Amino acid sequence: MGKATAKSLLALTPPPKRRGRQKMDTPQPIDIHVGQRVRQRRTLLGMSQEALGKAIGLTFQQVQKYERGANRIGASRLWDIATALDATISYFFEEFGDTPTTTPDNLHKRETLELVRAYYRITDPHVRRSVFDHVKALGGK
């Protein structure tokens, strides 16, 4: 048997394990859900990504990544977001895992959220009820 060289020994040893969190190729379902809830709440409040970013000390690009679920939101950052959006921490986890994506996509569209926000800005209860009845009639059953 020949002498083992340093190079041959290195070739036989596995690479060292990485410490810390490994970068994931695809966002996890919970990160996507929390991001969608951030966007939903922000849109209902009529707040821009830039305004939310400013409130929590980030750029709007980072807010975009959070909302897509591309970046995971840490606990302290989620606390900051919840405070800025006047929501509870549990709000961001509501409905997760209840049913596997049976919620119609229309509920998460910007148009729907803006319509709901505009509807609740109507202060006169009679006018609000009239608008409700009209939209319901236009939409059919």
| pLDDT tens profile 69-108 | 999 999 999 999 999 999 999 999 988 876 554 445 666 6
108-131: average pLDDT? 84
Closest CA to 133 of 114, 123, 119, 121: 119
- Which is more confident, 84 or 131? 84
Residues 85, 41 contacting (CB under 8 angstroms): yes
Give the domain ranges of the chain: 26-100, 104-141
Q: How far is it, in rounded angstroms, from Cα 73 to Cα 114?
A: 25
Per-residue confidence (pLDDT) for residue 36, from 0 to 100: 92
Per-residue confidence (pLDDT) for residue 48, from 0 to 100: 93
Per-residue confidence (pLDDT) for residue 22, from 0 to 100: 55
3-state secondary structure of 120: helix
pLDDT in tens, 23-73: 557 889 999 999 999 999 998 888 999 999 999 999 999 999 999 999 999
Per-residue confidence (pLDDT) for residue 102, from 0 to 100: 44
- Three-state SS across 83-140? HHCCCCHHHHHCCCCCCCCCCCHHHHCHHHHHHHHHHHHCCCHHHHHHHHHHHHHHCC
| pLDDT for 1 beyond 70 | no
CATH classification number, 26-100, choose in 3.40.640.10, 1.10.260.40, 1.10.238.10, 3.40.50.2300: 1.10.260.40
pLDDT in tens, 7-26: 554 555 565 555 555 555 78
The amino acid sitting at 102 is T
Residues 92, 78 contacting (CB under 8 angstroms): yes
| pLDDT for 133 beyond 60 | yes
Return all residues near 110 (Cβ < 8 A) that are at least 6 apart: 43
Return all residues near 26 (Cβ < 8 A) that are at least 6 apart: none
